[in-house]
Amino acid sequence: MRSPIVRLLTCGSVDDGKSTLIGRLLVETDSIPYDTVDAARQVRRAGSTIPAGEIDFSLLTDGLEAEREQGITIDVAYRSMSLLDGRRLIISDAPGHEQYTRNMVVAASRADIAIVLVDAIKGVRIQTRRHLTICSLMGIHRVLIAINKLDAVGYKESIYTQIKHEIEEVLPQLELTNVDFIPLSALIGDNVVERTPSLPWYQGSTLLQAIESWQPDEDRVESARMRVQSVLRADGFRGVSGTVHLGGFAQGDEVKVYPGNKIATISHILSDMREQKTAARSDAVTLVLEPEVDITRGDLIAASAADIHLSDRFSAHLVWLNEDALIHSRSYLLISGPTQTPVIVTKILHKIDVNSGEQISANTLLMNEIGLVEIATNQPLPLLPYKQSREFGNFILIDRLNFQTVGAGMIRHSLRRGENITYQAYEIDKSVRESAKNQSAKVIWLTGLPGSGKSTIANLLEKRLQALGMHAYVLDGDNLRMGLNVDLGFTPQDRAENVRRVSEVAKLMVDAGLIVITALVSPFEVDRQRARSLFDDGDFIEVFVDTPVDICLARDPKGLYKKAAQGQIPNLTGIGQGYEKPVKPEIVLDGTADIDRNTSLILKEII
């Protein structure tokens, strides 16, 4: 199918001439209003050598005042122009600085073609490798290497050939195969839109011709797929709406709805409330299914014969976008299309030096860094490798507390262990076990600073429950670190994993019908919220033991604060590491109050 829109990414090092090149493309295709062009004849950057009255093409794409002041591109600037064949070209001017890698990644995520500029004066630089690496990771298969400023080197073919050979040496490693090299001068206009006599030794396409020759690849996935974006109900009508992303549908087609594996037939296809016989790729439609199977937003509709594999374990490249580092074992929200589900980064295999391609061992990712990770989702998803399908192979990660986007990912492949594991249901379940014990199973999650009194309260609470004939068990943080969590330290990453393991054990014990009491510092709100998400409503009672830090210091029952003061414990909560107070705990206890009173307050929630 011929795409009506072509998305073009331009990238290069500082002063390689990206903005000038784009500006010339826009002007010479009459894609810029005349008054804007006139302004570019009058306004000048600081230090500009362009004569008065001539167009400064670079001004036509810069959108931030800070960019003009510094003479660089910081944010991604977007412009639109029409191609000769009627298609619309969306041009993104990506920043060249390494600290703005995430800006380039965002621009590259939807690009069909990339132009990588190389300054003929300076030759191939380390940034060139970085930009090619990002193009490869982001699935841009068509790359144009624009060797610019040939006018400044006398249009020498030898310089063009040398640069071409240097880049060709790294292309196989990056798996970039559809690459063309185009010599040009953005400032003069040589070989941008029209050929000029200045490059008689070059017989290939102009830059504009190379852009216009691009056509999308045929779908690598032939079976039809559509994610459900909304379910429509009105006066007996029920349909599911979405955009067909792969293949196509027709009335009478048998389809399967995932993850429930329900079979139905398409009885009607509606577009703009008008009925049609078929729906092709990129069509936004409403499907009416018979029978009316249970279906919700985020579900996948596919041809019933399609070989769809759902998994909850994936290998992925992850670009970290947030100022706070990635913490593996911490729970984030994964969003892919309309699908939203909790996810954990279970392993960071390595990070990628985008300047050299080297794989570097890492236990976290900082802003602008790219790594290969393994993730585990809370529910099976029909994701595909990113190079096979961008739509079904991309995702973003969201912070569960502030809902900021913190990462962007590209699926490499699903992990077999995720596809080969099936939940086994047993006839004896939690309700049966609760009935046998004559109690309601739940977890009492005690959190607070070291020395706040959590373990003391947990001990008395278990004794009181035992005296009442109830079945309870304490999961104490220090005790667990002597066994189950003996391999963990006290970094944010290890604390997240500590909470994850304890919450999973607590979940099993609650399923066994027990009342579980955890005495755990668990200093980070997002980790506690992830623990809460494992339990049914009412089964997780968060108890904040609110004790002032000076009282905890005075108590210091385990000598931790003394060791911290001597520099022996750098990550002690309250001293070397912050504690985030619970946002909406079920119970807040005064850690300086009588212990019997505090225990009784918890018992009221249990009995």
- What residues are labeled active site? 522
CA separation for the pair 229, 285 (Å, rounded): 10
Question: Please, are residues 498 and 489 in contact by the beta-carbon 8 Å criterion?
Answer: no
Question: Please, are residues 299 and 380 in contact by the beta-carbon 8 Å criterion?
Answer: no
Please give the distance of CA 461 from its chain centroid, rounded to a whole number: 43
Edge-to-edge strand list for the sheet holding 142-148: 77-82, 88-93, 5-12, 113-119, 142-148, 178-183
Residues whose CB falls within 8 Å of the CB of residue 291, separated by 6 or more in sequence, listed in order: 264
Q: Is 463 helix (H, G, I), strand (E, B) or coil?
A: helix
Residues whose CB falls within 8 Å of the CB of residue 340, separated by 6 or more in sequence, listed in order: 298, 333, 334
Strand boundaries in 382-509, DSSP class E? 394-398, 405-414, 442-447, 472-476
| Pairing state between β 339-352 and 249-250 | unpaired
Query: What are the b/e assignments for 427-452, b being 16+ CB within 10 Å?
Result: eeeeeebbeebebbbbbbbbbbbbbb
Query: What does the block give as tokens for 226?
Result: 């559509």
DSSP string, 440-462: --EEEEEE-STTSSHHHHHHHHH
Maximum CA extent, the chain: 98
CA separation for the pair 77, 107 (Å, rounded): 9
Rounded (5°) CA angle 558-562-567? 125
Residue 215 gets the label, from left (phi > 0), alpha (psi -120 to 50) or beta, of beta
Cα distances (angstroms) measured from residue 257 to each of 180, 268, 421, 439: 43, 16, 20, 39
Question: Please, are residues 16 and 128 in contact by the beta-carbon 8 Å criterion?
Answer: no
3-state DSSP percent of the chain in helix, strand and coil, to 5: 25, 30, 45
Q: How many CB atoms lie within 10 A of CB 537?
A: 6
Four-residue CA torsion sign, 567, 571, 572, 574: positive
Burial class (CB in 10 A: 0-12, 13-18, 19+), 391: middle
Q: Does the bond joining 259 to the residue before it have cis omega, within 30 degrees of 0?
A: yes
As a whole number of Å, the end-to-end CA separation of the chain is 65
Question: Please, are residues 187 and 17 in contact by the beta-carbon 8 Å criterion?
Answer: yes
CA separation for the pair 183, 145 (Å, rounded): 8
Cα distances (angstroms) measured from residue 132 to each of 78, 149, 249, 500: 20, 20, 37, 38
CA separation for the pair 43, 296 (Å, rounded): 54
Place of tokens 């050939």: 161
